Structures are given as C-alpha cells and as structure tokens.
Structure 1
C-alpha cells in the first residue's frame, strides 16, 4: 500500500459507469442525524439487557446488528417495531440527494441501510418516481435479473440489499420478506458462519459490477456477510474506491493505492486495510484505492449542484423512541435476552448463569415458550457438563410443557434427548422406552427422516445390549424407510450395519451379501469415504475365509481411497490390514514395512490405541522371522501404551508374547519370570480361571520342569 499523488477527478473523469454502495455512515450527517449502527446497538442492549450484563454483551466480538435484531424479534418485538424508528426520519442530507442524482443519471446505488432517506431524496428532487424501482425482495431480484434490458428503457433502480420493511416509492409492503431475511441471517452464530450472497442477488449484482467503478461511501465493512465476499470473488471490476470518512480532514486527505504483494499484510493494518488487502490479493487486476477524506468533500468532485436541504435537523432520540414504542422488558426478559446472546456466542457459563436468573424471575403470566427455551438450554448445559441427572430433570420439565402446549415436534426432540442421556448412563430399557415414545409421535406426523433417525438410535441400543434379533428387525424397518425416502446413501449405511451384526453372529455369508450390497451403492454414488470402510469389512470377511488374495485386493483399494482423501487414520488402519494379510500368508518381511508405516502414522495422529495394536502385529512379524530382539522391542513399546490406559489385559498379552521370545532364545529363567507376571495380572483382573490363564499355567509348569532339568 502506498500514497499516490492523484487528483480525485482524475480517478473519476470520463464517461464512466459507477456503482455506489451506501452504508449507515451516509445517514449520520445533518439534517438526517440518524445514530450509527453501533450507537443503535448500544441503546438496544441497554434497553433489553440487565445492567449486570450490558458491558459484557457490548464487548461480544462480531455481534451483528441483524443477529441482535433476530433475538429481539424472537423474544420481545415480534414485528420488529424497532426498525420503524428509521421511518420517522424524512430529512435526507447532501449525500442522499447526491445518490438520488446518481440514480437519475443512470448509475447504480446499492444500500445496506434500513432507512428511506435515499427514497425521500428521490421524491423531494421532483424528478418523478414512476420510473424508479426499489429492488428489495427475492421476487424483485428475479424479475430484474436481466437488468440492462430495463435500464435501456429509462428505468432507474435503488438496490436495498439487506431488505426493507416497505417500498415507499410504490407504497408496497415488503415486511414479510424483510422479517424472513433477518431471521435467516440473524440465526447464524457468528460472522464466519455466513459469508455469502444469495444466488438470486448474485446474478443481478454480477451484471452491474461488470467493468464498472465501485465507490463505497459511509460503509465501514465491519460485520459484513455479503458485500465483502462479493468483492473478494468478483474479479471483473475496473476499480474500487473506498471512501474512509474523516469528520474534519483539515488538509489530512490522501489517497492510498493497494498494491498486491507476496508477503502477508503488516500486523499494524486497521480492519479496512486488511479487507482491501484481501480483495486485492484475490483480484490482482482490479485497481483499489483507499480515499481518506470527508464524504461531503468527496461527492463535490462529482457535482456542483446545490441541494435544498431541510433547515431543521431530525431530533427524535432513538432511546426515547424505544421506550415509547416498544414493550419495556421485565427482569425475566432482561436476563433471557443475554442468556440467548451468550448461548449464540458459545459463552456457555454466562448463558447458564443468565438462564438461571431468568427462571428465578419467571411468573405465571410469562409466555411458556420462554420457559421452554431456557429449560432446553439449561438441560443442554448440564448434559455438556456430564451432570446427567440435572439434564434429565430439565428436559423432562421441558417435555411436560411441550405436551401442555401441543408441540409435537418439541416432544420428539426432548424424548430423543432423554433417550440419548439414558443410553449414555447405560439405562438401556429407559432409553428404549423414550425412543419408542418419540417414534409413535413421529409416525403420526409422517416425518420419515426423523423416524429413521430414531430407529437408528434404537438399533444402536439393541446392538449394545447384544439383542441382535431386535436390532435386525428394526434395521429392516430402516431399510424400507430409506427406500421410501429414495436415500441411497442411508440405505447403504444401514445395509453395512446389518452386515456388521451378521458378522458378530458369525453369519459370514449373509454378512458378505449385505456388505456387497452396500459396496454397489457406494460405488454408484462415488462415495469413496464410505466405500473404503465397506471394502475394509469385505476384506476382513475374505480374510476370515482364508481367501487372502481377495482380502488383499480389497484392503489395497481402500488404501488408495484413503490416499485420495488424505485420510491418515484410515490409511494407518488399512496399511495394518495389508500387513496382516502378508502375515497370514507367512510373507513376514513384506508385512514389516506396512506395520512400520502404520505405526508412524498413528504416532503422528497420537492414536495410541491403534499404535498399540500395530506394535503387537509388528512384534509377531519379527517373532516369526526369529528376530526376537526387535520382537521384544515392539512388545515393550506396546506395554508402555497399555500402561497409559491401565489396560492390564493387553499388558498381560504382551508379557506372554515376550515370554515366548525369551523361550525361543533359550532363556528359560526370564521366560518363566515374564510368564508368571502375565499370569498374576490375569488373576488380578478376575481372569485366573480363563482358558488364557489355564494355558499360561501349563506353559509355566513346563518351564519350571525344564529349569529343574
């Protein structure tokens, strides 16, 4: 970035096609005197939040105006009367009249503002409004998508990209679209969740931007979710001029050109510089200038026209208007709104605290929907903390209210949540009861997707309880529902699960049949992630059959997909499976490299349990190669990991393997000592009478006899 010695008129001269983007800063100057968006947000927070929470809420990073509006709309101001404040101001300033003049000259003006001051400037200019259209709703954007066909007939347009409660040029009510738009963008937790412009807007805007000079005025770029992404992606602009307003420039005006550089932007850049740098990096051929000047001074480079401004300033204070026109929130509401705000920004401790306070202020006259919201969130907090008993109490109370209000969809959610908690605490009969109650309600609603989700939860529980007949019965229902939905992927996943159940029951032929059904569907869908899992299962069955050539083929194909997906976890597993096949085939040297590679990846991933398994396999390969030193090194590495997890059974197995190595080295004393240590562990964990322990006792007796000889 560097300062350039250019006159503004040189950047603006000629018969150029201009597009203006007007932000909230355009409406601050006299006589409009509207507060800035930050000031309005501050007043809304002061009005709706408990005093104890105001400072903390005000400091929430990336809290968008639209997010705040949506929460207020949901809890307090359903019709968003707050926005009607902007209607009260009918006194456009010089910037609004200038933008109106630009529209009348055929240039495009896009605004993110909720006020009507550009429209009032158009009306007060006496140029006639019959040829001017406000583009507000989705229907408008679709109707005027071939925008130049209309521009060529003399029509003029104002584009209100963030919507509007009404179209005052035609007395058209656009409130329904506006509320739905606010609901959509306000429901996202953070700015990073919603960087986009709707496709129907994009079609029209991309045509306007093509080969044009874009001028941003009164626009900060903060908390933006559509304009900035457009500028980053759209590379057919000729030039971008971003006017950074200076209230009293007093000769401090300057023009900075943004130049693409390979290095990262300096750390001392302000937010606007960072935005411009990012736009330039993605659009190196677009000229980008930051113009630090007074906005009024800037527009005088376009026109010498003197506008007839209202001599009296707009004087309605937003704070006063709020108290006179919006329901004053009670203390319950003043904690409920911070509760929701904190929740949306993952400030869970603060949200929990405010939720508890809101419940304390609840009374019989308060809307039960508010109590339902708080109970749901508090139950979720308890669930997250692992306090399942409190989570159950709150979800059960929420369930009771849902039943009183006849909210079937909420009943399903709370029953499912309760079922999940019961499943976690291993109360399987109660979990099944909850899920089956939820399923009855779902069957009444005919929501097949939700029914399938609940059935899958039931299947998981029956599998956990090892009641495989019931798991298979519900799996058949799940298959039929997936077929009704036409959801091939879900059908393949369910078939894969059925195959796994049959594999546990040692119905290997039936298991293979279902796995192969899944394989066909995943190939058809080109779902290589799930296909790799399925191939692993098929390979394992062929391995059980002793058909190692087909098993190897399946594992190697799965490994190829892991490479394509950069799925390191899958790659480590399938490397070990290939190694296992070579181990089965007594090709011990070939197996070594696969186990070693698998161990390296599992170490990189810190997947210690898999690493432990792979050390066991590697140790066996060395053992069969009679390399007992390396075999014991691998087994000892496995023991260290087993001790990390206090996995005594696996440690006993490794010790038994090491005893075998010592025996092969004719070191009977160490073999005996290690075998006895292994047996002691088995006895400590209650497996002293297991077949494994009995076999080990016989080995110990033989060793003792040989030592005596």
Structure 2
C-alpha cells in the first residue's frame, strides 16, 4: 500500500452518497444469499460439510484449523479425486426463494441499473421472475458463458431493448431461463481462477469479459455488496484496473445497524498497513490506482438495503409490501443433501484427498502422517495402485526434508509397482520424480534421461498437467548447464500450459524460474517483472512459503544492483514470514542472505555472525544441502581473511557431507576450493590430486566451464613442477573446452598460457602466434591490463630473436 493513503471519517449522510442522478452498477457476492428465506450456507460451512464426508474423521479438525484452507482449493481437490462434475452444486437448484436483497436487485435492474454477481446460484433470476409479468420472463438475459459475454457486451443497448441482464462473472451450472447447460463457465476452483489469463494477468478477469466490464462500469458508481474482500482473487485485481469508474462504494457487512462511513484517499495522517484490515489495504491500493472516490460503509447489509437503498432507488415501492414467504417449502440441509453423493467414499481415497490438501498448503508433517496411514490401508486391502500413490507422496516429502536417498527409494518402489501394473501414467510420474533426485544430486545426464522418458509418456497420454512438470524439470537441467535459451524455451512453454489448465501454484514457480534466467542473463528489470507477478500469485494464494522464496530472489536482484537497503528490506520481510511460519530452514536461508548483504557492504564480522547463525539453525535441522552452503560461506570469509586453515576446515567439512549425500556438483566445487588453498600453502601435489578429482566429476556431470577452470589450474601446477609437456596438454585441453562453450575471456587466457609454455620451451614462433591471437581477443574485450602484459611478452621474444 502506498505511504500516502489514509482513512478518514466521511461527514456526508447516506442519502447524499446515493443520488438518483448518478448511474449505478452493483457487484454482489455470496454474502447477499445468506439471509432468510434463502438461507444459503456460507463458503466456510460448505467446506466443513464437505470435509465431514470426504476427509478421514481424525483429520477434519486439523484441516479446518488451517488459515489458508480456501473454498476453491477444497472444491478443486474434490473435483480431481471424487466428483468431476461437482454434483454438490446441484443443491443450488433447491434454493429458489430470493430474499429482500435479491428482490431489491431485481427491481433496480428493471429500472435501468446494472447488476454483476460472482454467485453461482439463480436467486437474482428467481427474483426477476417474481417481479416481472409472465410474458416478460423471456426478456431476462443471464450472461454466463464466453459466448454470452462476447455477444452481450453492451448493457445499455440491452436495457433499451427492454431486456433485463444479469452478469454472472463466475459462471453458473445452467441458464435457468433458457435451460442451457453452462457448466463450463464455472469458476469454482483454483485452477479455474487461473485459466485463460495471460502473462501478468493471472488474477484479472478473462480478456473476453473485459469489454463487457468496461461498459458495465464506465463513468458509473460501483456499489459492492456481500463481498468480504478477503478472497479477492479476480475481483480485487480487476477493480485496481478501473480508472474509468466515477466512484466505488464498498458495503462491508457487520452485525450492527449503526453506520460507519470511511472515505479512503491520498492525504496526510498516515495509517500503517499492518494496522489496517485486508479489505482496507485493498481499497487503499484501488484508491491509488485511479482518480475516483473510494468509500467504505460498515453496516448490516440487509439493514442498509432495507432502510436506505430501498428508499433511494425504489421510493414508489414500499418495502413493507414485499412478501418474502409466498411459498413455504422444506429445503434439506446442505450437509444432509450431499450425503448420498459422498458417503460411500473409501477410506484410502479420503487419505489421498487429505494428503493433497496438506501437501498443497505445505503442511509437510501432516502430509507425511496421512501418506503413512494411506500406505497401511492400501496394504490391508491389497490396493497396489494406491500404495504407489502414497509412496510418491512420501518421496516428495522426504525430498523437501533433504532426505534425498530415502526419497529415491520411495520413488523406485513406486516405479516397480506401476511397471508391474502396466500403469503408464504412474510410471511417468515416477520417472519424473526420480529425475528430480538425480538433478539434486548433480547427476544431470541421468536426470535429463528420466525427464525425457516421462515427457514422451505424458505427450502420448495428452496429460497437460504432468507435461508442465516435465518441461519445468528439463528447463532446470538446461539452466544448470547454462543453456539459458533452451531453459527459457521450456519454461515459457510450461507457463502457457499452466494458463490453459489454470495451475496457479506451478505458474508462480515457473515465473520465478524465468525470473532467475533473466537474472542470470543480467536482465534484472525483466527478472523483477517475473518475480513480482509470481509474488502476486503467491500472495493471493496465501502461499507464504512461495513468498519467502520470491522475496529472497527479489532481494538478490537488489543485491546485484548494490541497492543494499532494498535487498535488506526484502530479506528481512522474508525472514519475518519464515518466523511466522515457524520454518527454521527458511529462516536460516533468510539469515544467510542478510549475511551476504553485510559481506557486500564490507561488514565482515556481521556477515560471519549471520552465516554462523544460519549454520547453527541448520545443525539442528540436519538438511545436508543447506549445511554445505553455510559451511562454504563461512569458509569463504576465512579464506578472504587469509585464515586458510580455518577455511580449509570448513570446506573439508562441507566436502564430507557432499560426498555422503552423493551431491557431485557441490563436491567438485569444494574440491577446487580446497585445491586453491593447497596451492597458496604450496601443497602442490595435494592440490593436483584435488583438481584432478574435480575434473573427473565436472566431466561426468557436464559442467564444462568448471572443468576448464580446473584444467587451467592443473596446468599451472605442472608449470611449477617444470613439467611443461603436461602443462601444455592441460592448457590445450582447456582451450578446446572454452572454444566449445564460446568463452572469449577463457580462450584469450588459454592462448596466453600456451604461449607462455612455448616461451619456456624456447619455441618462440609458436609462442608469438599464441600471444598474438590472445592479444586480438583481449583487445576486442577491452581488457587493457592484459593487453599491456602480452605486448611486453611479445617485445621480450622479439628482442631475444633479434627483431
């Protein structure tokens, strides 16, 4: 929220806010349908009733206690596992009695005002059926499907044609006026919220709806009813993009009949964001984005409609003449009505559902508990397919916890089962998961092979969701190999698929990966753009873990810019969230990053203190990968301070861990660091062994740039031993690699080293040739310091040969 936002008490009375001369559009949410005689259950109650039937009894309270358990997430997992058609929404067919708010809205539609609803029910249409003559019922136009939004873009023309439109921007299962099935229009799940949204537009209204929204709101007062603002997925971002509004009035429901009116605008007397509600912060952002008034009214919604809005908009229709109970019929409770749909769900399926929810919400211990119980049940009923399913979950959980070899065993067990069952889709998942372990362990060729096998299977099956994972993982291998264009190609293809299937979680992860590519290419502004969009998704999904990662990545960009204050701000915000989550591992990572800023600022003691603090936390947690990183950083500081024995001690400790877990990438890098110290301490033979071992690993895992650097150092050691033949062979091998990876700086250095060896051999013609080739490249690179050195070498040779 911008710093110049304030909340001020509004002095005008309600009647002055709502004058007949203004033009109004009403945006209404689920809250309007909860009053009698409608009595629609709340989203929270629907979730509770669904969990009672779909989750294991001993996990229901654990799930309900989770702050980020959203209606959309529960519905998505039910649709994935139990109920593709979301039959529970058919309950809305039984809710046919509109309440006073529905009748108010239907009456104002007949008087030329516009109404937009995010609700799936049919109650505004039912109210219109009540207030209109029978022969006018055909003129009620619910705008639900994509075709409807494209065809009925102009509400003014509809009104002039004596039509009564209701704009249902989250869709509906059917059009009750025409009887048409419109199930495809429903936006009930996290995936549906992410579909058909392009880059940078994840939570805005779909593009095909935007012209209609513009026409509904242009130069009008927008009144929002029955909407909390806490789950503002596509509504909040859309409202932030409405500079063409005249005014926004948001009615926040309370139990009170006392009116509290607040005007939100840009002035003095600041209020800090942390003291404001989510809704107030959102309205402040909307106020910042446009030049229109934003007003918040806190009051009982029904009371407000009945005592204020009714008199302003419907003065000739006395509210006391409205009969809300013309038809009395027994409507079953939602919890009773859905029992026949879900009461026979098998216990093993309930654990799958619960596992998904816990894992999605990063409740790792709970997901582990449910997976272990699920395996026991699967074994009791001899359900091998379900056992494989839970084995994969245990693999993913152990992978997150850093238990890579244990995870690999679980994945291999799952693969064995799926191959015995000839379950091709399951095999694809197993191969992909096994590949991710090989990737972590630095076995990139093996990882690449597993990912490609998995990709071939999912492409045959047409499984778009699994294809996202394969493309992402293949992209990651390319990224590690510094083949950034190929990595980007795979990431972007995967993002397009997330937009088709609406997978917001993985879209955020991919946007983060794309940001990392641009950062590696030194395109920092583009990196920030992708990180910011990913952060918006994580924020609106309530993914605090994702926020920690993204804030850290944004901090690193500012770190690169040498904007250390902003970097520290991002790292500190990330640290605060990690502490809020109680995630010690993420906390350690944030502290480590703060240490890196101190190091860049030259505050060495503070940096060392932070690195040690991060290591102390990780010692308690036991994540081997993170311990390697923190030990390496501490070793680096000791190395920079010329405390070589201490540095070597830390590097050696990290090397033991890397060796134990089979992380070849980190093992090889640590060997080179220890070798570098050995050279400083004139332990040349020991250094040679370290570099030679590193070269073998770099060759195996395909890290050619590091292999070249190590071969160059080996050449220097051979020069010290006066073994010019082997020195020359090492430098020539280095040159071949640098030419292969197109590293001009490396090529120039290699030619210079080869020239130097030939000089020592007395082969001056060959030496001159290599020096001159090196000189050309250093000149092109504008490396004046090297140019001067090489010119002096050439001059020395020319003097020796009498030129």
Instruction: Report the TM-score, using the length of structure 1 for normalisation.
Output: 0.65
Query: Counterpart of 1:257 in 2: which secondary structure?
Result: strand
Q: Does 1:343 pair with 2:359?
A: yes
Counterpart-to-counterpart distance in 2, 1:40 and 1:613: 55
What is the aligned counterpart of 1:165 among 162, 170, 173?
Answer: 173
Instruction: Between 120-129 and 99-108, report the one with greater CA deviation.
Output: 120-129
Q: Does 1:14 pair with 2:24?
A: no
Instruction: Report the TM-score, using the length of structure 2 for normalisation.
Output: 0.58
Structure 1 position 200, deviation (Å) = 1.6
Counterpart-to-counterpart distance in 2, 1:197 and 1:41: 25
What is the aligned counterpart of 1:308 among 298, 319, 323?
Answer: 323
Structure 1 position 391, deviation (Å) = 2.6
| Alignment correspondent of 2:394 | 378
Q: Does 1:36 pair with 2:52?
A: no
Structure 1 position 89, deviation (Å) = 1.2
**Contact 1:265–1:277, Cα closer than 8 Å, also in 2:** no
**Contact 2:96–2:123, Cα closer than 8 Å, also in 1:** yes
Counterpart-to-counterpart distance in 1, 2:110 and 2:383: 50
**Contact 1:613–1:638, Cα closer than 8 Å, also in 2:** no
Change (3 A) 1:8 1:528: closer
**Contact 1:69–1:186, Cα closer than 8 Å, also in 2:** no
Structure 1 position 403, deviation (Å) = 4.8
Structure 1 position 196, deviation (Å) = 2.5
Q: Does 1:412 pair with 2:418?
A: no
Counterpart-to-counterpart distance in 1, 2:382 and 2:39: 38
**Contact 1:416–1:434, Cα closer than 8 Å, also in 2:** yes
Change (3 A) 1:402 1:131: farther
| Alignment correspondent of 1:25 | 31
1:546-565 deviation digits (Å, cap 9, x = unpaired): xxxxxxxxxxxxxxxxxxx9
Change (3 A) 1:139 1:443: closer
**Contact 1:342–1:348, Cα closer than 8 Å, also in 2:** yes
1:569-606 deviation digits (Å, cap 9, x = unpaired): 5999xxxxxxxxxxxxxxxxxxxxxxxx9976897898
Equivalences for 1:117-156 in 2 at 5 Å? 117-127=123-133, 128-156=136-164
Equivalences for 1:53-452 in 2 at 5 Å? 53-127=59-133, 128-178=136-186, 183-185=191-193, 195-247=203-255, 249=257, 252-261=258-267, 263-265=270-272, 267-293=274-300, 294-295=303-304, 296-301=306-311, 302-304=313-315, 305=317, 306-311=321-326, 312=328, 315-362=331-378, 371=387, 373-400=389-416, 402-403=418-419, 408-422=424-438, 434=450, 438=454, 441=457
Structure 1 position 11, deviation (Å) = 1.2
**Contact 1:94–1:309, Cα closer than 8 Å, also in 2:** yes
Root-mean-square deviation (Å)? 4.9
Change (3 A) 1:34 1:397: same
Counterpart-to-counterpart distance in 2, 1:261 and 1:434: 59
Counterpart-to-counterpart distance in 1, 2:371 and 2:648: 44
**Contact 1:23–1:218, Cα closer than 8 Å, also in 2:** yes
Structure 1 position 255, deviation (Å) = 2.2
Q: Which runs of 5+ in 1 are unaligned?
A: 465-474, 492-526, 534-564, 573-596, 617-633, 658-673, 699-709
Counterpart-to-counterpart distance in 1, 2:188 and 2:251: 32
Change (3 A) 1:261 1:362: farther
Structure 1 position 79, deviation (Å) = 1.8
1:240-268 deviation digits (Å, cap 9, x = unpaired): 2222334452xx22322223346343644
Counterpart-to-counterpart distance in 2, 1:369 and 1:100: 52
Query: Counterpart of 1:166 in 2: which secondary structure?
Result: coil
Counterpart-to-counterpart distance in 2, 1:456 and 1:8: 57
Change (3 A) 1:373 1:167: farther
**Contact 2:451–2:470, Cα closer than 8 Å, also in 1:** no
Q: Which runs of 5+ in 2 are unaligned?
A: 1-6, 494-516, 524-555, 564-597, 612-628, 653-669, 693-713, 723-803
Query: Counterpart of 2:322 in 1: which secondary structure?
Result: coil
Equivalences for 1:447-596 in 2 at 5 Å? none
| Alignment correspondent of 1:508 | none
Change (3 A) 1:179 1:360: farther
Structure 1 position 356, deviation (Å) = 1.7
Query: Counterpart of 2:266 in 1: which secondary structure?
Result: coil
1:368-407 deviation digits (Å, cap 9, x = unpaired): 7755543332221122334344433432344355556765
Counterpart-to-counterpart distance in 1, 2:235 and 2:459: 44
Structure 1 position 167, deviation (Å) = 0.8
**Contact 1:443–1:451, Cα closer than 8 Å, also in 2:** no
Change (3 A) 1:355 1:10: same
| Alignment correspondent of 2:771 | none
**Contact 1:243–1:290, Cα closer than 8 Å, also in 2:** yes
| Alignment correspondent of 1:624 | none
Structure 1 position 78, deviation (Å) = 2.4
Change (3 A) 1:299 1:419: same
| Alignment correspondent of 2:756 | none
Counterpart-to-counterpart distance in 1, 2:57 and 2:459: 47
**Contact 1:82–1:326, Cα closer than 8 Å, also in 2:** no
1:141-187 deviation digits (Å, cap 9, x = unpaired): 12223444434333221111211111101111111332786642389
**Contact 2:439–2:477, Cα closer than 8 Å, also in 1:** no
Query: Counterpart of 1:353 in 2: which secondary structure?
Result: helix
**Contact 1:236–1:286, Cα closer than 8 Å, also in 2:** no
| Alignment correspondent of 2:711 | none
Counterpart-to-counterpart distance in 2, 1:138 and 1:648: 60
Instruction: Between 203-212 and 311-320, report the one with greater CA deviation.
Output: 311-320
| Alignment correspondent of 2:778 | none
| Alignment correspondent of 1:496 | none
| Alignment correspondent of 1:52 | 58
| Alignment correspondent of 2:9 | 3
**Contact 2:471–2:490, Cα closer than 8 Å, also in 1:** no
Change (3 A) 1:392 1:126: same
Structure 1 position 697, deviation (Å) = 9.3
Structure 1 position 346, deviation (Å) = 1.0
Counterpart-to-counterpart distance in 2, 1:186 and 1:49: 26
**Contact 1:163–1:181, Cα closer than 8 Å, also in 2:** no
Change (3 A) 1:641 1:159: farther
**Contact 1:257–1:289, Cα closer than 8 Å, also in 2:** yes
**Contact 1:76–1:327, Cα closer than 8 Å, also in 2:** no
Structure 1 position 88, deviation (Å) = 0.6
**Contact 1:379–1:391, Cα closer than 8 Å, also in 2:** yes
